[in-house]
Amino acid sequence: MAETQPGAPRRRTLSVEDYVAGVRAGDRTILSRAITLIESRNPEHHKLAQALLQQLLPHTGGAHRVGITGVPGVGKSTFIEALGKNLTADGHKVAVLAVDPSSSRSGGSILGDKTRMGELSVDPGAYIRPSPSAGTLGGVTRVTRESMLVCEAAGFDVVLIETVGAGQNETEVAQMVDFFLVLMLPGAGDELQGIKKGVLELADMIAVNKADGENEIKAKLAARDYASALHIMKPASPTWHPPCITISAIKNLGLDNLWGHIQSHRQKLDKTGELAEKRARQQVRWMWTQVEDRLLSALRHHPDVVDALPKLEQTVANGEITAGFAADEILEAFGLNPLDED
Ligand code: GDP
């Protein structure tokens, strides 16, 4: 199997073996092409990408997988740039990926934008990839998960996955990482009012950013408030109570402490076996998510279902038949005997 990248007819066609060798050798061009392949909607590319991932699998799993979320303006790109540079200076290899379902390549992605991380993007120890565009086969989440594996096989030992604090994407990112970091703005009380409880449940740590200048005290107060909010929640792990700290991304303050917590989390959960369990759970869940997504898509595209749907939806909406009866009809049109389930 081999592929030709769309729009780049002069590029040499690569076989799976070429991709594997290039990625393993840390060749950035081939790494980028492998991710482009993963993003492609072309079924042939999809097959090739799956063959590539299968071969790379034994070389994956070696990175600290860290998800980072926060509202626009909280300082995510400033933070990732500062942390990324600290880490590469310490000899780490850092990949930055992004999950932004609103992004379209032509319109430009808000996240993972290289111009937002100017210094890190030219750092030889770092690799930055903007968010795949929405509408990618299997969704942005699939692409990001698979890109993370390719980056690990290419030798990156830290993968930072950036997302915006909106909708379902935070949960999806939390389900693909070892550690989920929530960045907050100073602002104590008011801020806490508006905070979504859901994100606190996902957080392995809260870092209040912009703790500098006149915001320093406000940031400390906010961190204290978040700490008490977290205190009344049941922790996700018996071994880990999410810390609430303050940082200044722009001044590079508190970032060593922050990374220390991430390492300590890894050591503790490694020791108890929770990290391996967490990753295993994530994989199985991910397998089911894919099966469910594809089944639903097959059902929605089945010609008999497509034919039956408009009338069924309407009669259910009008109250002429029950939703349960209509569901049975749809499943039957798809070829399932509804009574057979379970
Ligand atoms: P993002 O939208 O979450 O990626 O946020 P940016 O990194 O683009 O930052 C938004 C604004 O906040 C920019 O003007 C940054 O310079 C500023 N900013 C980011 N981090 C800090 C910080 O630690 N302290 C201060 N005072 N400003 C910051």
68-103 pLDDT per residue, tens: 998 888 999 999 999 999 999 999 999 999 887 666
* CA dist., res. 198 & res. 169, Å (int): 12
* Mean pLDDT value across residues 136-140: 65
Short-list 298, 327, 296, CA closest to 312: 327
* CA dist., res. 147 & res. 36, Å (int): 9
The SS3 of residue 14 is strand
Short-list 203, 130, 195, 198, CA closest to 161: 130
293-331 pLDDT per residue, tens: 889 989 999 999 999 999 999 999 999 999 999 999 999
Instruction: State the distance from the centre of ligand 1 to the C-alpha of 334, rounded, in angstroms.
Output: 51
- Give the strand pairing for 244-246 and 205-208: parallel
209-259 pLDDT per residue, tens: 999 999 999 999 999 988 988 888 777 788 899 999 999 999 999 999 999
> Residue 238: what pLDDT?
84
CA-proximal residue: ligand 1, atom 27 (nearest): 210
Other residues' Cβ atoms within 10 Å of the Cβ of residue 166: 14
CA-proximal residue: ligand 1, atom 24 (nearest): 210
| Residue 72 Cβ contacting ligand 1 at under 6 Å | yes
> Residue 169: what pLDDT?
81
Using the atom order of ligand 1, give the atom closest to the CA of residue 213. 26
| Residue 144 Cβ contacting ligand 1 at under 6 Å | no
| Residue 209 Cβ contacting ligand 1 at under 6 Å | yes
- At 54, which amino acid appears? Q
Lowest mean pLDDT among 39-43, 90-94, 166-170: 166-170
| Residue 218 Cβ contacting ligand 1 at under 6 Å | no
Instruction: State the distance from the centre of ligand 1 to the C-alpha of 299, rounded, in angstroms.
Output: 45
SS3 sequence of 218-248: HHHHHHHHHHHHHHCCCCCECCECCCEEECE
| Residue 74 Cβ contacting ligand 1 at under 6 Å | yes
Instruction: State the distance from the centre of ligand 1 to the C-alpha of 73, rounded, in angstroms.
Output: 6
* CA dist., res. 186 & res. 188, Å (int): 6
CA-proximal residue: ligand 1, atom 12 (nearest): 75
266-293 pLDDT per residue, tens: 999 999 999 999 999 999 998 998 899 8
CA-proximal residue: ligand 1, atom 17 (nearest): 75
| Residue 69 Cβ contacting ligand 1 at under 6 Å | no
Which residues, at least 6 apart from 237, have a Cβ–Cβ distance to it below 8 Å? 269, 274
Using the atom order of ligand 1, give the atom closest to the CA of residue 78. 7
Radius of gyration over every alpha carbon of the chain, rounded to an integer in angstroms: 22
Other residues' Cβ atoms within 10 Å of the Cβ of residue 307: 11
| Residue 187 Cβ contacting ligand 1 at under 6 Å | no
| Residue 173 Cβ contacting ligand 1 at under 6 Å | no
Catalogue the E-assigned strands of the chain. 2-3, 14-15, 64-69, 94-99, 126-128, 158-163, 179-184, 205-208, 244-246
Which residues, at least 6 apart from 99, have a Cβ–Cβ distance to it below 8 Å? 111, 131, 140, 141, 144, 161, 162, 163, 169, 172, 173
| Residue 249 Cβ contacting ligand 1 at under 6 Å | yes
Residue found under tokens 């606190």: 200
Instruction: State the distance from the centre of ligand 1 to the C-alpha of 182, rounded, in angstroms.
Output: 15
